[in-house]
């Protein structure tokens, strides 16, 4: 028997019945999954067995994981293969190794079993259905492929399951070829990392202005700015610009947009992920509508469980419900936390930049990172303090950028493809970088557009 297409599997107004459940029904479903995770899965992970107070996790309480330590991607790294294995619950080799973050040397990995990938596809099915993908759509798939990236593979799967016409370009196809095919086949929908979609469309339009018009953009991987939305609408005709899934490869899909979601607003996948918004300083739970840092406990990852993971994005849970009728909670994303910048779809954190400075040796370690938006593209400005005379600065800039791009091949690729601006480096005298006037702390990261 053939597998029914996604659209044929839909019963009721939403892709999944859960999306219309009452709060009590949702809570029951969540508690069941949490119990399974806490009782059957986590005890098999030596890492969590040692660190978590498993007996004190009360799945039916409001904050079941409140007593558990918070972990970052860097905390988990030594416990995941290839560096270690004690976070894993089994030695079964049947899983896929994806990379998280574009670094050289030992890859940062995130492991998913085939069954978990099926659940990832469920997220996508729910997200694409909510954001209005139709079987009649003709979709250019521009997601990242190769180098252990996850997105292209499962996006292709979901377009196939939708039964729509799909064009597997990936992020590697030259824009002129994408443009030629898109015009020939009247492709009406582009899907991919925001900057890749935008730049592909821009390049096609530069050669033949007005030649490419589309109806829908399904983006992800990075924030979309209001100016980009306006450009997609006014220059390329896109009436619908939505993110069918927001998430990280280190955690899971965390949210999805429906046709009623404005910029930055998402429905939570709260049957698959337990989300917590915590105060940046105190790590106490924020009230609804209060801004904090997003943390995730994934209820669907059994090979490499993820408990109280610091996603790092700023967010707030909204107290209102969505007009679409889905009862799943809404949250608003408000950019990265204070220690990280998203350049293109590379996340550059302050700690990584500090490690580079240690290698570089000619700066005192005071650094300010700023992200600006210029002509619709990201620009990274690095301000470093140095004792060296001005006559050295040009050489130092060249050497530091070389070091940075060697460590961050994805950033190098974005720059060489023109997706982001080349990095700017400024040299400041020791003690002169701007400080917070109240605390005297160095202003480390500025996200000028969020």
Nearest distance in Å: CB 4, Zn ion: 25
Nearest distance in Å: CB 17, Zn ion: 16
Nearest distance in Å: CB 260, Zn ion: 4
33 contributes a contact to Zn ion by CB under 5 A: no
Among 204, 258, 353, 420, the residue binding Zn ion under the rule CB under 5 A is: 258
Report the alpha-carbon distance of residue 39 to residue 44 in Å, rounded.
9
Candidate ranges 35-43, 250-258, 347-355, 439-447; the one touching Zn ion (CB under 5 A): 250-258
DSSP 3-state of 285: strand
Candidate ranges 210-218, 256-264, 352-360, 376-384; the one touching Zn ion (CB under 5 A): 256-264
CB-based contacts of 204, cutoff 8 Å, min separation 6: 175, 176, 178, 179, 182, 211, 212
- Contact, 312 vs 336, CB < 8 A? yes
Nearest distance in Å: CB 19, Zn ion: 9
273 contributes a contact to Zn ion by CB under 5 A: no
396 contributes a contact to Zn ion by CB under 5 A: no
Question: How many residues make contact with Zn ion (CB under 5 A)?
Answer: 5
Specify the residue, 242 or 445, whose C-beta has the smaller distance to Zn ion.
Answer: 242
Nearest distance in Å: CB 67, Zn ion: 33
Site string for Zn ion, 194-223 (x = CB under 5 A): ------------------------------
Q: Could you tell me which of 59, 71, 50, 4 has the C-alpha nearest to residue 27?
A: 59
Among 156, 260, 372, 373, the residue binding Zn ion under the rule CB under 5 A is: 260
The number of angstroms, rounded, from the C-alpha of 376 to the middle of its chain's C-alpha atoms is 19
Specify the residue, 314 or 326, whose C-beta has the smaller distance to Zn ion.
Answer: 326
Nearest distance in Å: CB 391, Zn ion: 59
Specify the residue, 182 or 275, whose C-beta has the smaller distance to Zn ion.
Answer: 275
- Given CA atoms 15, 16, 18, 20 in this order, what sign does their dihedral have? positive
DSSP 3-state of 191: strand
The token duo for 259 is 């046709």
Helices 390-407 and 409-417, interaxial angle, to 10°? 110
Site string for Zn ion, 315-354 (x = CB under 5 A): -------x-x-x----------------------------
Place of tokens 């990938």: 117
Residues 126-185 that bind Zn ion (CB under 5 A): none
CB-based contacts of 147, cutoff 8 Å, min separation 6: 99, 102
Candidate ranges 149-157, 184-192, 260-268, 292-300; the one touching Zn ion (CB under 5 A): 260-268
Task: Please report the DSSP string for 31-66 in residue order.
Answer: HHHHHHIIIIIGGG-HHHHHHS-GGG--TTSSSTTT
Binding residues (CB under 5 A) for Zn ion: these are 258, 260, 322, 324, 326
């Amino acid at each position: 028997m053939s597998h029914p297409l996604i659209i044929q599997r839909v019963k009721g107004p939403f892709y999944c019945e859960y999306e219309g459940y009452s709060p009590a029904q949702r809570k029951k479903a969540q508690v069941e999954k949490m119990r399974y995770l806490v009782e059957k899965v986590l005890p098999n992970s030596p890492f969590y067995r040692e660190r978590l107070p498993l007996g004190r996790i009360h799945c039916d309480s409001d904050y079941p994981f409140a007593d558990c330590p918070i972990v970052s991607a860097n905390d988990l790294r030594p416990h995941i293969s290839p560096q270690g294995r004690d976070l894993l619950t089994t030695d079964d080799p049947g899983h896929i190794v994806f990379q998280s973050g574009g670094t050289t040397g030992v890859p940062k990995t995130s492991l998913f079993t085939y069954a978990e990938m099926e659940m990832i596809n469920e997220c996508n099915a729910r997200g694409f259905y909510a954001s209005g993908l139709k079987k009649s759509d003709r979709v250019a798939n521009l997601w990242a492929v190769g180098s252990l990236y996850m997105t292209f593979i499962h996006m292709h799967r979901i377009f196939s399951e939708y039964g729509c016409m799909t064009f597997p370009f990936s992020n590697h196809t030259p824009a002129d070829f994408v443009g030629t095919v898109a015009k020939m086949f009247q492709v009406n929908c582009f899907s991919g990392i925001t900057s890749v979609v935008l730049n592909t469309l821009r390049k096609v339009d530069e050669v033949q202005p007005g030649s490419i018009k589309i109806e829908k953009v399904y983006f992800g991987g990075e924030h979309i700015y209001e100016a980009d939305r306006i450009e997609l609408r006014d220059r390329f005709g896109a009436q619908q610009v939505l993110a069918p899934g927001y998430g990280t490869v280190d955690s899971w899909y965390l949210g999805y947009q429906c046709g009623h979601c404005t910029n930055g607003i998402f429905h939570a996948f709260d049957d698959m992920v337990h989300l917590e918004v915590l105060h940046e300083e105190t790590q106490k739970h924020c009230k609804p509508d209060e801004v904090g840092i997003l943390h995730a406990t994934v209820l669907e990852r059994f090979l490499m469980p993820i408990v109280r993971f610091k996603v790092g994005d700023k967010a707030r849970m909204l107290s209102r419900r969505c007009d679409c009728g889905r009862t799943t909670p809404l949250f608003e994303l408000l950019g990265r936390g204070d220690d990280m910048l998203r350049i293109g779809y590379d996340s550059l954190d302050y700690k990584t930049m500090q490690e580079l400075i240690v290698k570089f040796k000619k700066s005192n370690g005071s650094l300010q990172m700023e992200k600006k938006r210029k002509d619709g593209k990201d620009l990274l400005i690095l301000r470093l303090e140095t004792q060296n005379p001005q006559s050295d600065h040009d050489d130092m800039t060249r050497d530091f950028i070389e070091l940075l791009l060697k460590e961050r091949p994805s950033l190098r690729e974005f720059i060489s493809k023109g997706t982001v601006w080349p990095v700017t480096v400024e040299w400041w005298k020791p003690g002169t970088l701007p400080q917070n006037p109240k605390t005297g702390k160095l202003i480390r990261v500025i996200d000028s557009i969020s």
